[in-house]
Structure 1
Amino acid sequence: MAFADLLEQVGATGRFQVVHTTLLCIPVLMMASHNLLQNFAAAVPPHFCSAHANLSASAQLSAADALRITVPLDAKGAPEKCRRYEAPQWHLLAGNGSAGPGDWEDADGAALQEQAALQDCHDGWTYEERERTSSIISEWSLVCNLRSLKPMGQTVYMGGVLVGAGIFGGLADRFGRRLLLIMANLLMAVAGTCAAFSTSFSLFCLFRFMCGMALSGIVLNTFSLIVEWIPTRVRTVVGTGTGYCYTMGQLILALLAYFIRDWRWLTLAVSLPFYVSFLYSWWFLESSRWLALNKKPEEAVRNLKAVARYNGRKAEGEKIDVERLQVSMKKEMSGCKSSYTTLDLFRTPTMRRMTLCLSAVWFSTSFAYYGLSMDLQKFGVDIYLIQVIFGTVDIPAKVVITITMSYCGRRLSQCGGLILAGVTIMSNLLVPYDKQVVRTCLAVLGKGCLAASFNCCYLYSGELFPTVLRQSGLGWVSMLARLGAMTAPMVLLLGEYVTWLPGFIYGLVPVLSGVAAFFLPETLNIPLPDTIEDVEER
């Protein structure tokens, strides 16, 4: 397109692009921390019913004895999590006052235990904080009858990401990328800080919802500002580099969570960096491509000249004026309406097919990705270790997807990543549950494929949607992705009734969307489209 020539004139891969892209990518490092924060902030510690209130008068009882006469055993010989005896079973101490929980399995004790009446945990729960000093689970007792509130907390957060995608996506196409990015950084910093000091679960969910909204604004506007200031030939490499920032963020989260065991301080630690990004985001230049197409040619020229000066091409930049910009982009500017809405994504045949296929791709990728990533405790491995493994696998996965995108094209890479991820996840259903290492390896492989798919769909979608609708398009598909992420934790609840059903659903959905991706056009080495007409002609 004509803008590409102007960009080459002022320096398409100069110092400005390097500094600009680097600063935009820094907040991406902390995005994974917010997306996956629940793995640590909502870690479920071992717990059982607290002793009866009137038992505190018996100060001579050890903790083991108090547990023995208060809580029955489950089928696995461990203390029940959600029930206790209606009254203390003093006879269980007869003849062995020093007995501990591991000595409960004699025949008489088991018989007496079956006869005793049970009740809910009327005096609360006792938590064994082994890995974390505190979590939202222990702070607000989100266990037993309230255990469904744990996935609800993540669903509320993803609901914020969904709403934010709709709001920030549409507003950015109308008011610009830079302003919305500044606002999103401030919202993330403030909402994250408030979440860290929440006094109730309801307030925590409210502020996490706002964090989700802010995350959408940061992601969408960061990506658009990057791709609209770089040339076609480096889009794949830069897009992959941005994806690696998210990968590094997963490792940073594991490191922070290892040293910061309190959920409040951890939430604060992953939110404070956004104050810094808010301060320096005022330096960013608005996209001249967007300014030109929104009837602001003077500002577009001023920004192009600023880029030229920063890249050491001041003389070349001075040759650009409003008249030359209008002549160069005459076709694109004449084809633009005064405003666009999300409905324009569906008005024409090619845009409609493309939007529907991308919607399926984003929904399924996010659905399966968060289905695997948001319940690390189920793997029976140290959550810090599994977080590192899940983050590390993204590195080779994104190397592979970068190579395939560069040589095989975006469409084949997108299809292959999704189908392979789905097949891998469903293969886990055939592995016996006691083969924990094999199951974990397959899950890690599937997660790597989904991470590669995410890396591809961000770049692919940015290349498919035209400039006049790029933010609206990315906002729409991001909304579908967050709908998938909201649905994923709820599907896990189906495992309480049919153990294999969540894994089957997590695997089937990516396979189906991988087929849908075959109907997308290829964009390898093709310039960015600026108008809907460019998309239809392509």
Structure 2
Amino acid sequence: MGFADLLNEVGGFGRFQLIHVTLLSIPGLLMASQNLLNNFTAGMPGHHCTIPNRTSIASSHNFSLSEVDDRQLLRAFIPMDANGIEFLKCTRYVKAQWHLLKSNISAIRPTNFTDFETEMCLDGWTYDKTEFLSTIVSEWDLVCTLRPLKQMSQTIYMGGVLSGAIIFGGLSDRFGRKALLIWSYFQLATLGTCTAFSPSYVTYCVLRFMTGMAVSGVILNAVSLKVEWIPTKTRTLVGTLSSFFFTFGQMVLAGIAYSLRDWRKLQIAVCAPFFIFFLYSWWYSESARWLVLNRRSDEALKHLHRVAKINGKPEKIEKITLEVLESHMHKEIQSSKGTYTAYDLIRTVVMRRISLCLMIVWFSTSFAYYGLAMDLQKFGVNIYLMQIIFGMVDFPAKLMALGSLTFLGRRVTQGTCLLMSAVMIFANIFVPTDMQSVRTTLACLGKGFTSASFTCVYLFTGELYPTVIRQTGMGFVSTMARIGSMAAPAVLILDEVMPALPSIVYGGAAVVAGIIAFFLPETLNIPLPDTIGDVEEKWTKKKPNAEKQCEKEMEAFQKNEGVHEDDGKTIGLKVL
């Protein structure tokens, strides 16, 4: 008998769980926006050096601007690349080369375009507003020598997500899931909205860092509040279906970004709604498991009675008393009297194996996912359309993961998704660059498998770690995911050494993690562990035989034997 039995008594997956999970999942529509926002707010528009006083320059050379269009006119001011197709982005001619307009351009060797004296863009840049009206790139001229700052903004944001995983993970095990989730909503709404009014790049990065911290707080605590109120048999279905909110959110982001095309308006649109989530989050019920294990059984009992009432089981209110609750969780209460730190994640054999394996799985999943998802402009397809395609491919991938999680288990699903994503990434290496549609298809499939891996690992991790240290564990291993997301953009620099090298690194990491995933314990249809002892007992490889186990129990009984008066009867107590 344990807490899972109490959940079944108060209605299992009833009306309360449905409302609770839905309200916790709705913010997921905009959580995808936070992580992928850089694709649009930091989009790289077409640009070239600004040419000052073109009209006066043309007049001084007796040249009419009405005779040529803008693109032709640029030939007199901006050098072209070695192929004579695109204008260079970071240089211009010192003097206008009007003769290039009057000459047969096709007859001039492309290399001749660079034979004239050039200079840097001293008067700034002119940006093409076809795809984006305004981005932080055009706002603060993050091009040419400052181009690395574009990716730096995403790295700083992911650094905030990393810090939030560490900080909020431990705090929520100490102060509760609900309190930290409410605070995270408020922090994300306030600082995310303020980011839209950033007067400088530095201010923007600081606010994005703080927003990233709040994103971790929302994700980690929402996952735990879902898992800890859901019966064992429905965890897989609920975990997968709720992840569809994140998937659909990717398409919502594309729609909002296409409608606004201004980074400041987009920033407000995806952050301000969290004020609404903050307001209704007070309806949530704190995890009864956490309350009992933190010696707040009275509050836990009130939440259980509330759940029973909402689920249409009012008769259970009188039957479930404080004594019943504590008797169901007697062993967990005894084990929770100590304090737990991150060291407990690696102190015992099984916990150590779980933590080390999950660190690798989280890192590689995030590493491969953001390696594919954070550079949509490289595919040569409209970025808004590409975002929708990347979101749509997640639906069949997650449905496939749902079936696999239900019938094959967590371990097989996790390992297979990672290995299949590696296959797609490696296959893309051998596809010629001119076969863009094939490359895009393989990239979408790879992203779909990594997305399915994310769905599995969130559920898997919540089931592997015990209640007393679940949030600390989630924060600890998801830290590796944030490191992976921070490292992913930096790996793209390796394409200067060899174009296929980034794909080799992404795919290699997925292969290693896929193999490592098969060393994790299976949790399909297994009740959530509440203590570290539960974890060691369930998944230790060397279990004592029945005879030795009985001897240990008898020894414990003799050592802790006692009497208790209950209704005039003497009852022997056996402390296990």
CA distance in 1, matches of 2:392, 2:96: 49
Structure 2 SS opposite 1:126: strand
In the alignment, residue 80 of structure 2 is paired with which amino acid? L
Q: State whether residues 80 and 114 of structure 2, in contact with CA within 8 Å, keep that contact through their aligned partners in structure 1.
A: no
Q: Could you tell me how far 1:327 is from its partner in structure 2? A: 1.4
Cα deviation digits, residues 28-79 of structure 1 (max 9, x gap): 110001111111111111111112x465633756344652222111113211
Name the counterpart of 1:176.
176
Name the counterpart of 2:234.
234
Q: Could you tell me how far 1:112 is from its partner in structure 2? A: 5.5
Segments of 5+ residues of structure 1 without an aligned counterpart are 97-102
Equivalent residues in 2 for 1:219-258, closer than 5 Å: 219-258=219-258
Name the counterpart of 1:401.
401
Say if 1:315 and 1:155 are closer, same or farther in 2 by CA, change over 3 A: same
Cα deviation digits, residues 155-199 of structure 1 (max 9, x gap): 111111100001110000000000000000001101111111111
Name the counterpart of 1:74.
81
Structure 1 SS opposite 2:48: strand
Q: Could you tell me how far 1:137 is from its partner in structure 2? A: 1.0
Aligned residue-pair number: 529
Taking CA–CA contacts closer than 8 Å with sequence separation of 6 or more, which of the two structures ends up with the larger relative contact order?
1
CA distance in 2, matches of 1:510, 1:113: 45
Structure 1 SS opposite 2:157: helix
Name the counterpart of 1:57.
56
Structure 2 SS opposite 1:529: coil
CA distance in 2, matches of 1:246, 1:285: 22
Does residue 106 (structure 1) correspond to residue 107 (structure 2)? The answer is yes
Name the counterpart of 2:381.
381
CA distance in 2, matches of 1:205, 1:343: 32
Q: State whether residues 357 and 520 of structure 1, in contact with CA within 8 Å, keep that contact through their aligned partners in structure 2.
A: yes
Which stretch of structure 1 is more off in the superposition, 110-119 or 145-154?
Answer: 110-119
Name the counterpart of 2:312.
312
Cα deviation digits, residues 486-536 of structure 1 (max 9, x gap): 000111122133211111111110110111111100000100000000000
Say if 1:112 and 1:404 are closer, same or farther in 2 by CA, change over 3 A: closer
In the alignment, residue 43 of structure 2 is paired with which amino acid? A
Cα deviation digits, residues 269-311 of structure 1 (max 9, x gap): 0111101000000111111110001111111111111111111
Say if 1:75 and 1:23 are closer, same or farther in 2 by CA, change over 3 A: same
What is the percent sequence identity of the aligned residues?
54
Name the counterpart of 1:92.
100
Q: State whether residues 9 and 317 of structure 1, in contact with CA within 8 Å, keep that contact through their aligned partners in structure 2.
A: no
Name the counterpart of 1:263.
263
Structure 2 SS opposite 1:244: helix
Structure 2 SS opposite 1:346: helix
Name the counterpart of 1:282.
282
In the alignment, residue 465 of structure 1 is paired with which amino acid? Y
Structure 1 SS opposite 2:44: coil
CA distance in 1, matches of 2:147, 2:482: 22
CA distance in 2, matches of 1:317, 1:210: 43
Equivalent residues in 2 for 1:95-244, closer than 5 Å: 95=102, 104-107=105-108, 113-244=113-244
CA distance in 2, matches of 1:364, 1:65: 48
CA distance in 2, matches of 1:15, 1:307: 9
Q: Could you tell me how far 1:107 is from its partner in structure 2? A: 2.1
Name the counterpart of 1:525.
525
CA distance in 1, matches of 2:111, 2:158: 48
Name the counterpart of 2:345.
345
CA distance in 2, matches of 1:525, 1:3: 15
CA distance in 2, matches of 1:14, 1:515: 38
Name the counterpart of 1:430.
430
Q: State whether residues 417 and 453 of structure 2, in contact with CA within 8 Å, keep that contact through their aligned partners in structure 1.
A: yes
Structure 2 SS opposite 1:138: helix
Q: Could you tell me how far 1:416 is from its partner in structure 2? A: 0.3
In the alignment, residue 231 of structure 1 is paired with which amino acid? P
In the alignment, residue 100 of structure 2 is paired with which amino acid? L
Q: State whether residues 174 and 339 of structure 1, in contact with CA within 8 Å, keep that contact through their aligned partners in structure 2.
A: no
Which stretch of structure 1 is more off in the superposition, 116-125 or 238-247?
Answer: 116-125
Say if 1:146 and 1:305 are closer, same or farther in 2 by CA, change over 3 A: same
CA distance in 2, matches of 1:205, 1:32: 19
In the alignment, residue 169 of structure 2 is paired with which amino acid? G
In the alignment, residue 87 of structure 2 is paired with which amino acid? P
Q: Could you tell me how far 1:139 is from its partner in structure 2? A: 1.1
CA distance in 2, matches of 1:365, 1:513: 8
Equivalent residues in 2 for 1:354-369, closer than 5 Å: 354-369=354-369
Which stretch of structure 1 is more off in the superposition, 496-505 or 237-246?
Answer: 496-505
Say if 1:420 and 1:65 are closer, same or farther in 2 by CA, change over 3 A: closer
CA distance in 1, matches of 2:257, 2:224: 31
Structure 2 SS opposite 1:519: coil
With normalisation by structure 1, the TM-score equals 0.96
Structure 2 SS opposite 1:167: helix
CA distance in 1, matches of 2:143, 2:418: 35
Say if 1:115 and 1:328 are closer, same or farther in 2 by CA, change over 3 A: closer
Segments of 5+ residues of structure 2 without an aligned counterpart are 539-576
Structure 1 SS opposite 2:45: coil
Which stretch of structure 1 is more off in the superposition, 82-91 or 435-444?
Answer: 82-91
CA distance in 1, matches of 2:235, 2:112: 70
Structure 2 SS opposite 1:198: coil
Cα deviation digits, residues 441-474 of structure 1 (max 9, x gap): 1111111110110110011111000001110111
Q: State whether residues 463 and 523 of structure 1, in contact with CA within 8 Å, keep that contact through their aligned partners in structure 2.
A: yes
Moved over 3 A (4+): 53-66, 90-93, 103-106, 110-114
Cα deviation digits, residues 216-275 of structure 1 (max 9, x gap): 000010010011011000000000011111001011111111211111111110111101
In the alignment, residue 56 of structure 2 is paired with which amino acid? A
Q: State whether residues 377 and 383 of structure 1, in contact with CA within 8 Å, keep that contact through their aligned partners in structure 2.
A: yes
Structure 2 SS opposite 1:48: strand
Name the counterpart of 1:99.
none
Say if 1:487 and 1:441 are closer, same or farther in 2 by CA, change over 3 A: same
CA distance in 2, matches of 1:112, 1:147: 27
CA distance in 2, matches of 1:114, 1:534: 71
Name the counterpart of 1:330.
330
